[in-house]
């Protein structure tokens, strides 16, 4: 029987010889518009079901037992599995939803044309991340075509909704679609990313007291506390401005005091992304009236995007932030008795951190296999978030590794074709390293 290195060399040679297959699959996927309907609802471009319908027969042809189910209404996940040992089980994961095109006139190519120009395959989703899904399937196909039987169970997860919170991967995790390790083929430009910070969306609601703006002087200038004095208003928007100033200092303090070796210093930011101010708190958690400046507003709602480090826990982050809000409220006589409220997992969004060891076998395999056929990759952390977080939150060791390209979430998105083929070769080798051969 051939040794592992000979087996891997044979599989990689087959991928090179049949390189048009992974390029063609990527192209076919790009040509099916699968814009996340949460961003732009339109049946003409919300065609995730067609992408999964393209992929499922391909997986079946490679001997995968497949399953589809709706993770969200009309939005199916697709999972394929080869049976094998749980001890060496591995998930290859990618998402098929894409962000909107934006202004098509700003593109120099058809956003869903799959044009190939100067070694680049263009189109929405080309790099983020239909090429990653194609690379995973092509890697497994090459192993299958070589007649190799893996020892460990191999699963391919083609999921929806990563671009708006990862509810596809979250649903797969809830259904127990787990393994010992997961490789998410997001674009990494050939680097190996075993760490990713966590993310919380949190809403802070600050309450004031509504009153007529004509009596604003009664609120902000010294008035005698006489019998019969009109009850002064309390301007929630002004309280919110004070809160945002305090939040900026809190953000600076936590960013300076904490770090992780694989991510940039200060990546644990708190972004005030949305603010609503007005009068009358509605059932939807927002002010009922936001168009009348003659009312002293009694509601200010601030939505925050809060990142934290790979080596921090969501429980600790929440406890620390809640303590900050409490102490801020103690600085004001009104807020001491009417403290701001905090809502975690706004919109159901929550990304756990991922902090896989740099010495993990999946990491060392990717580094070695990538270095053997290209430049030596860097080991670093992911500064954004992706579906790897949801598997990591369920105890699955995760790594992010994928191709090179540009234009994701912008115009003229593309994947570099050479990097796509190389990524397929590396993933195939790592599958064999991790799962082993029977």
Residues belonging to the active site: 97, 162
Residues whose CB is less than 8 angstroms from the CB of residue 3 and which lie 6 or more positions away in sequence, other chains included: none
Residues whose CB is less than 8 angstroms from the CB of residue 377 and which lie 6 or more positions away in sequence, other chains included: 190, 191, 192, 366, 367, 370, 371
Determine contact, residues 56/67, Cβ cutoff 8 Å: no
Q: How far is 296 from 279, CA to CA, in rounded Å?
A: 7
- Work out the burial of residue 331: count CB atoms within 10 Å of its CB; fewer than 13 is exposed, 13-18 middle, 19 or more buried: exposed
Q: Decide: helix, strand or coil at residue 188.
A: coil
Identify the helix (H) or strand (E) that includes residue 31: none
Residues whose CB is less than 8 angstroms from the CB of residue 273 and which lie 6 or more positions away in sequence, other chains included: 303, 304, 305
Residue in 132, 123, 140, 97 with CA at minimum distance from that of residue 419:
132
CA distances from 412 to 112, 258, 407 (A): 10, 37, 5
The dihedrals phi and psi of 154, each to the nearest 5 degrees, come to -115, 130
Q: Decide: helix, strand or coil at residue 175.
A: coil
């Amino acid at each position: 029987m051939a040794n592992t290195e000979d087996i891997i060399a044979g599989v990689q040679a087959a991928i090179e010889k049949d390189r048009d297959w992974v390029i063609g699959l990527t192209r076919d996927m790009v040509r099916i518009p699968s814009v996340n309907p949460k961003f732009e609802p339109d049946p003409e471009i919300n065609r995730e079901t067609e992408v999964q319908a393209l992929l499922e027969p391909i997986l079946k042809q490679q001997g995968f037992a497949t399953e589809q189910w709706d993770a969200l209404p009309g939005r199916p996940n697709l999972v394929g599995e080869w049976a094998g040992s749980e001890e060496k089980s591995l998930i290859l994961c990618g998402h098929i939803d894409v962000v909107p095109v934006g202004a098509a006139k700003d593109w120099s190519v058809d956003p869903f044309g799959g044009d190939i120009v100067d070694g680049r395959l263009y189109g929405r989703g080309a790099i983020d991340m239909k090429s990653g899904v194609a690379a995973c399937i092509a890697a497994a196909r090459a192993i299958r075509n070589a007649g190799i039987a893996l020892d460990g169970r191999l699963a391919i997860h083609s999921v929806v909704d990563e671009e708006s919170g990862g509810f596809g991967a979250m649903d797969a995790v809830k259904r127990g679609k787990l393994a010992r390790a997961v490789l998410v083929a997001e674009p990494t430009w050939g680097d190996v990313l075993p760490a990713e910070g966590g993310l919380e969306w949190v809403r802070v609601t600050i309450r004031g007291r509504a009153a007529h703006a004509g009596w604003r002087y009664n609120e902000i200038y010294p008035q005698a506390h006489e019998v019969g004095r009109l009850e002064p208003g309390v301007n929630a928007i002004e309280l919110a401005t004070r809160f945002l100033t305090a939040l900026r200092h809190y953000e600076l303090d936590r960013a300076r005091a904490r770090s992780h070796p694989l991510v940039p210093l200060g990546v644990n930011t708190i972004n005030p992304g949305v603010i609503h101010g007005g009068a009358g708190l509605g059932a939807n958690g927002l002010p009922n009236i936001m168009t009348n400046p003659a009312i002293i507003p009694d509601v200010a709602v601030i939505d925050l995007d809060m990142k934290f480090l790979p080596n921090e826990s969501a429980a600790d982050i929440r406890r620390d932030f809640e303590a900050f809000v409490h102490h801020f409220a103690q600085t004001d006589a009104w807020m001491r008795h009417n403290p701001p409220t905090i809502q975690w997992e706004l919109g159901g969004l929550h990304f756990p951190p991922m902090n896989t060891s740099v010495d993990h076998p999946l990491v060392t395999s990717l580094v070695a296999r990538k270095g053997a056929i290209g430049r030596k990759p860097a080991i670093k952390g992911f500064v954004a978030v992706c579906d790897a977080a949801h598997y990591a939150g369920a105890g699955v060791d995760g790594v992010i590794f994928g191709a090179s390209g540009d234009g994701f979430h912008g115009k003229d998105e593309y994947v570099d074709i050479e990097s796509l083929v190389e990524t397929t070769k590396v993933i195939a080798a790592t599958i064999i390293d991790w799962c082993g051969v029977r």
